[in-house]
Amino acid sequence: MSPKSVVFKKICKDKSVAVYMGKRDFVDRVDSVEPVDGVIVIDSEALQGRKVFVTLACTFRYGRDDMDVMGVAFRRELYLSTRQVYPPLQDREKGIHTKTQARLLRKLGNNAYPFFFEFPDNLPCSVALQPAPNDVGKQCAVEFEIKAFSADSQDAKVRKRSTVALMIRKVQFAPEDEGMAPSVEITKDFVMSEKPLHVKASLDKEIYYHGEPIKVHVNVTNTSNKNVKNIILSVDQVSTVVLYSNDSYVKCVDIEDSGDSVSAGATLQKDYTLLPLLANNRERRGIILDGKLKHEDTNLASSSIIKEGVLKEVLGIIVSYKVTVKLIIGGVVLVLIFSFCLRHTGRMMGSSEIGLEVPFKLMHPKPDAVRWRRRWCSRSSSAPT
């Protein structure tokens, strides 16, 4: 999140319109979304009698600009709202909704006018597809933009030099209430063995923060006559494009080939650590990232939290994560997928596979929670013993 002291400013080429905003990240709390507010500063001489409008747009782009064919763009406008800012349609004081607007208006003078938008509750968060190293242009993404322009009317042709656009982001943070710590156990019987193979795996919690190691506890009790040749663990990102195809894509974002084996009649209790980071996946095309502003860095996309009752078809891209533990057993593969809930029953995935699939969450903590944790830790470390 942007510091409170920062003010973002952008002005169009002909100097007729400038946009001022106190922040560019707006938090989706599932049941509500922070409104978008800012101030427009106009130059009446440069306007030459034209009006000034502001739009909030959400666009889903599923192809590069240079892929446009016969005038058909590979993008879809999910939301567009337009406000006339100048001449104002209401009293200036009635257009002030936030303290940031009030401070900016006092500082910028009589040529400043406030604008205000409320997000609908069915829009996706800002995400983007990581391009390949040799890709150019804009890639598949969900983007939000504030655009101000001067024109004779809302529907008139807009000159590029009279337009200014500022990218913003819609973001989600981890909820305060954590669910059950994930734990999965499974028993596999073999045709040629009197006794089964039992496997249990668990995570410490449901929600992990970006950059936080994920500890996987694995317990194998092999009473069968089969040998476990290897144990492979991975964190998989599942992205579902719900807008036009409803296809799901699974990308491994961290993997550990442990090389551990469990012979017949033996047991294994071991903790494995996985760390899904963008830094280790920079060259992998197709991974979904959180949206970013300009050329700043970002991270793997956060898990999507969807408000109950909202149609998923308008959400663009839905992101989830799962930890996968794979046991290689004498050429037979058992697949176990662990997450935060055990309400699902086992599902046969073929004669050699058994699986459970439930998502765990990978998100950012709320900024207030981070500040509180740092303050508490500093007080604890300075307290007398």
Beta-strand pair 51-61/141-151: antiparallel
Low-confidence ranges of the chain (pLDDT < 50): 1-3, 66, 69-72, 340-353, 355, 370-385
Amino acid, res. 304: S
Domains in the chain with CATH codes: 8-172 (2.60.40.840), 183-332+347-376 (2.60.40.640)
Query: Under a CB-based contact definition with an 8 Å cutoff, are residues 267 and 220 in contact?
Result: yes
* pLDDT value of position 283: 82
**C-alpha 88, offset from chain centre:** 36
The pLDDT tens digits of the residues spanning 241-290 come to 776 666 788 999 999 999 889 898 899 999 999 999 999 998 888 899 99
Closest CA to 354 of 237, 219, 230, 190: 190
Q: What is the reported pTM?
A: 0.78
* pLDDT value of position 254: 93
**C-alpha 355, offset from chain centre:** 26
Distances (CA, A) of 289 to 250, 279, 320: 14, 12, 12
Query: Under a CB-based contact definition with an 8 Å cutoff, are residues 18 and 10 in contact?
Result: yes
The pLDDT tens digits of the residues spanning 111-156 come to 999 999 988 877 888 998 887 666 666 677 888 999 999 988 888 8
* pLDDT value of position 324: 92
